[in-house]
Amino acid sequence: MLRSADLKAEMPGKTGDGRLFARLVFGFAVFTSAFLLFQVQLLLGKFLLPWFGGTSGVWATCLLFFQVLLLGGYFYAHQISISCRLSSQGKIHLAFVALTGLWILLASYFWGSPLLPGPSWKPAPGAAPIAGILKLLFVSIGLPFLLLSSTGPLLQHWYAQLKLGAQKKVPYFLYALSNAGSLLGLLRAFGGKMFGRLKKISRRLTKMGPPVRHDGCGSLCRCSAQ
């Protein structure tokens, strides 16, 4: 009787530790995938500009490609979550991760970079830019981007199915972490330039500040004297 009572007394603590560990693991994975998702988009977009030019058509093509793959990742996560068991979902996703890792290794071997294509992929003068951009993006970042886009919704579904206590877990905090990771990825890319410009503006205003204040004080004194 004492042993069973001791076990029952220890169960809440173990359940709480398991819940905290699950939140940390799932939260870190979702946050990291969202951060890398934005980093990959901006990295490839900046890399393609010298090759195809900074026209609006280049950015619109990249945006279309990434949005279609993002929708494809959501569709993949939705399909395996409603048509397969949890164990089968894990096996399928692990196979997807292994395939993506193999693709990255092959890209690193042939290009010298896991994501950025080699000089041989540089378009010839007069080549169709849209077809070249789509082909280059699909070969270089297609599988990794599809994997990253499916990680967030799939992990949220898996976390909701955990049974660490009497109730199923609510995955909404993972959605908040995903948004935070995306925002951090955006600030990581543009934050340095933005803060640099703000510093320059603040320095200019600081230099212009004393004369403006003196002029204001002088005009105020003249008005009071009149």
- What pLDDT shows up at residue 60? 85
93-109 residue pLDDT tens: 999 999 999 999 998 88
Which range has the worst mean pLDDT, 94-98, 161-165, 183-187, 192-196?
A: 192-196
Average pLDDT over residues 203-212: 59
57-66 residue pLDDT tens: 788 888 889 9
Residue 34 lies in a domain: yes
Q: In the predicted model, what is the mean pLDDT of the chain?
A: 76
How far apart are the C-alpha atoms of 87 and 50, rounded to whole Å? 45
Residue 130 lies in a domain: yes
- What pLDDT shows up at residue 169? 64
Selected residue with higher pLDDT from 12 and 179 = 179
Selected residue with higher pLDDT from 46 and 80 = 80
Which range has the worst mean pLDDT, 3-7, 27-31, 131-135, 158-162?
A: 3-7
Which residues lie below 8 Å from residue 144, measured CB to CB, with a gap of 6+?
Answer: 40, 100, 103, 104, 115
Residue 118 lies in a domain: yes
- What pLDDT shows up at residue 111? 84
Selected residue with higher pLDDT from 79 and 110 = 79
Give the angle 32-57-131 at the CA atoms, nearest 5°: 85
Residue 207 lies in a domain: no
**pTM greater than the 0.85 cutoff:** no
Residue 65 lies in a domain: yes
Residue 131 lies in a domain: yes
Per-residue pLDDT band at 77 (split at 50, 70, 90): very high
- The total of structural domains in the chain comes to 1
Query: Tokens for 157?
Result: 């579904």
134-169 residue pLDDT tens: 888 898 889 999 999 999 999 988 888 876 555 566
Domain hosting 72: range is 11-194
Residue 220 lies in a domain: no
pLDDT above 90 as % of the chain: 21
Amino acid at the residue 37:
L
Which residues lie below 8 Å from residue 27, measured CB to CB, with a gap of 6+?
Answer: 173, 174, 177
Residue 213 lies in a domain: no
